[in-house]
């Protein structure tokens, strides 16, 4: 008889932080676990998001049974709208995860045709030929699950993102009893989160941040601006609870923070008393010592509410001495420079800043080494494969399994694109498929060659405008007229007059911005680019590539 086989193909999440996506294949059917994205590093100019390469799924669209989501973080659900544009399949997730996803799909115009199916920890379901048992796990967002996928070949346990918090905010612990029960029945392969595999001991409990927040609130003489991930509902709840104890009113700013807080409140995962909430334009009606502003922007995103405050460019919040800013998050790899830039600007604005390096305002949502050992001990897998992490994280997690006595032959260290085959009680890498990255540039989606080609086509067709504008570092005021250079730009009208109009426009933009107190070079460059692009298209019907450089002197 022909041996039954199951395959696992990681399309993302191995050798990187983000774009987690794993495909299970059995009997000609495919189950996709997670569809995450990754944020670009600074060198990927013009790229907004990075997605997994969907080619493998696109070519087998009629074989895809469903997408199963472990929890609602962007690195696990952010690519879903882009995937569902190409493959229309059911999406399984817990109540909060589907609530966050539904809003995202509505923004992408996909809500009407999306088929969302709710799952619950402890209530197994068959998804095609895959028997899926969902396991409650504690993480930095409520309603996370691990999943045990069983076929006639054997059981594969996927941990999801987890930690062993003994007393989580929502009292929903990682169900180690369930992992132990699965282990006693026989686990062929364990796939386990490697994010914190470098760190000894255990990850601190989420409630430990609450004591630090209480201390900061007690000492803050003025307004408190607290920034966190918009999806970190547990951290948001702790800010809310601390603000309530200190009798402060709460207002929420930032599109993602407002949206996620509203969804979590409606579904019962976030509790904020109605009489505590105020609108942003009501902040000045209260003493500074009675106000908390909950903000997005913990990762230094240039257009986020916190970044605009730090740059002095927020329409309704102007930072003042006496304010305290709490950045209750750790920079995602690649975002360190942006976060540090915001912190520096906050200090320059004269406010008190509390962040992870100087105060215990953040704990991770991922298991450290002792917790990872415990999961391996409970699941008792025949084979082990570290997932979710950069290569060093996978290395240390594999090393941990070896130190526990597992044979190197039973530890699978895989990369994105590897085809892992499970058959006859064994697990091994048997093949490899081509996988890359998909880049999102505004509304355009493609690989890096597509993005580069578009820029080259734009340069060939419409040329480029280079703007160099010197401003004073202290206040952003204009030092001298901006220098305008046009290359490859063909204009049948009065070119000299056009160049003067461009120079006058840039000068006016800088003077208007200085008058509003805007001096941040990035914000100025963005204003120049956007307004100049509109002007040139209206005047010439061309869209040249615009490079704006604001130089502080």
DSSP letter, residue 365:
S
Point out the catalytic residue in the list 71, 139, 234, 366: 366
Q: H-helix or E-strand containing 235?
A: helix 233-245
Q: Report the distance separating Cα 385 and Cα 207, nearest Å.
A: 31
Q: List strand residue ranges (DSSP E) for 21-169, in order.
A: 21-26, 29-33, 49-52, 64-68, 91-93, 116-118, 125-127, 130-137, 144-151, 154-158
Q: Report the distance separating Cα 223 and Cα 218, nearest Å.
A: 12
Q: Which of 537, 484, 221, 521 is nearest to 350 (CA)?
A: 221
With beta carbons less than 8 A apart as the criterion, state whether 147 and 132 touch: yes
Q: Tokens 């180690």 appear where?
A: 176
Strand order through the sheet with 91-93: 116-118, 91-93, 64-68, 29-33, 21-26, 5-12, 418-423, 426-432
Active site residue 366: yes
Q: H-helix or E-strand containing 470?
A: strand 464-471
For 243, the token pair is 């603000």
| C-alpha to C-alpha distances, 482 to 502, 513, 519, 532, nearest whole angstrom | 9, 15, 16, 13
Q: Report the distance separating Cα 57 and Cα 62, nearest Å.
A: 9
Q: Report the distance separating Cα 202 and Cα 11, nearest Å.
A: 29
Evaluated on CA atoms 253, 258, 264, 268, the torsion sign reads positive
DSSP letter, residue 467:
E
Name, in order, each residue with C-beta under 8 angstroms of 448's C-beta and a sequence gap of 6 or more: 437, 439
Point out the catalytic residue in the list 175, 193, 418, 462: 193
Q: Report the distance separating Cα 303 and Cα 308, nearest Å.
A: 6
Q: Number of helices (H) and strands (E) in the chain: give both, helices first.
A: 15, 25
Name, in order, each residue with C-beta under 8 angstroms of 109's C-beta and a sequence gap of 6 or more: none
Q: Report the distance separating Cα 439 and Cα 297, nearest Å.
A: 22
| C-alpha to C-alpha distances, 400 to 59, 99, 165, nearest whole angstrom | 37, 37, 21
Active site residue 193: yes
Catalytic residues: 193, 366
């Amino acid at each position: 008889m022909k041996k039954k086989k199951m395959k696992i193909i990681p399309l993302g999440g191995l050798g990187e932080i983000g774009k987690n996506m794993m495909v299970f294949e059995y009997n000609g059917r495919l189950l996709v676990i997670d569809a995450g994205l990754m944020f670009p590093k600074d060198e990927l100019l013009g790229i907004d998001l990075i997605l997994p390469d969907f080619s493998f799924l696109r070519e087998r669209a009629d074989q895809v049974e469903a997408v199963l989501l472990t929890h609602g973080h962007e690195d696990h659900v952010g690519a879903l709208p882009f995937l569902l544009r190409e493959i229309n399949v059911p999406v399984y997730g817990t109540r909060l995860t589907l609530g966050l996803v539904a809003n995202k799909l509505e923004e992408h115009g996909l809500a009407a045709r999306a088929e969302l199916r709710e799952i619950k920890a402890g209530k197994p379901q068959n998804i095609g030929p895959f028997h899926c048992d969902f396991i409650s796990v504690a993480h930095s967002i409520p309603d996370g699950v691990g999943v045990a996928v069983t076929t006639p070949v054997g059981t594969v346990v996927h941990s999801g993102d987890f930690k062993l918090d003994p007393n989580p905010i929502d009292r929903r612990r990682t169900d180690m009893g369930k992992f132990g029960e699965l282990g006693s029945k026989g686990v062929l392969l364990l796939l386990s989160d490697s994010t914190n595999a470098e760190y000894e001991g255990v990850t601190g409990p989420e409630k430990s941040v609450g004591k630090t927040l209480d201390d900061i609130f007690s000492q803050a003489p003025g307004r408190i601006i607290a920034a966190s991930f918009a999806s970190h509902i547990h951290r948001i709840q702790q800010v809310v609870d601390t603000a309530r104890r200190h009798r402060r009113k709460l207002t929420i700013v930032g599109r993602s923070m407002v949206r996620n807080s509203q969804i979590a409140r409606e579904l019962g995962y976030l509790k904020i008393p109605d009489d505590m909430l105020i609108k942003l334009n009501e902040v000045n009606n209260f003493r500074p010592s009675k106000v908390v502003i909950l903000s997005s922007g913990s990762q230094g995103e240039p257009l986020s509410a916190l970044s605009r405050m730090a740059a002095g460019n927020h329409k309704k919040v102007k930072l003042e001495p006496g304010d305290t800013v709490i950045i209750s998050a750790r920079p995602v790899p690649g975002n360190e420079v942006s976060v540090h830039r915001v912190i520096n600007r906050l200090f320059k604005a004269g406010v008190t800043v509390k962040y992870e390096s100087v105060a215990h305002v953040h704990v991770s949502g991922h298991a450290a080494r002792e917790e990872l050992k415990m999961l391996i001990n409970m699941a008792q897998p025949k084979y082990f494969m570290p997932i979710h992490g950069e290569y060093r994280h996978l290395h240390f997690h594999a090393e941990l399994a070896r130190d526990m006595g597992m044979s190197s032959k039973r530890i699978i260290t895989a990369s994105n694109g590897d085809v892992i085959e499970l058959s006859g009680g064994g697990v091994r890498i048997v093949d490899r498929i081509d996988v890359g990255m998909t880049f999102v540039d505004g509304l355009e989606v493609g690989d890096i060659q597509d993005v580069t080609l578009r820029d080259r086509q734009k340069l060939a067709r419409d040329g480029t405008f280079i703007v160099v504008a010197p401003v004073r570092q202290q206040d952003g005021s204009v030092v001298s007229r901006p220098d305008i250079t046009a290359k490859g730009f063909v204009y049948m009208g009065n070119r000299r007059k056009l160049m003067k109009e461009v120079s006058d426009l840039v000068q006016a933009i800088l003077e208007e911005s200085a008058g509003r107190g805007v001096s941040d070079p990035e914000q100025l460059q963005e204003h120049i680019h956007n307004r100049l692009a509109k002007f040139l298209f209206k005047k010439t019907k061309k869209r040249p590539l615009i490079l704006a450089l604001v130089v502080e002197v």
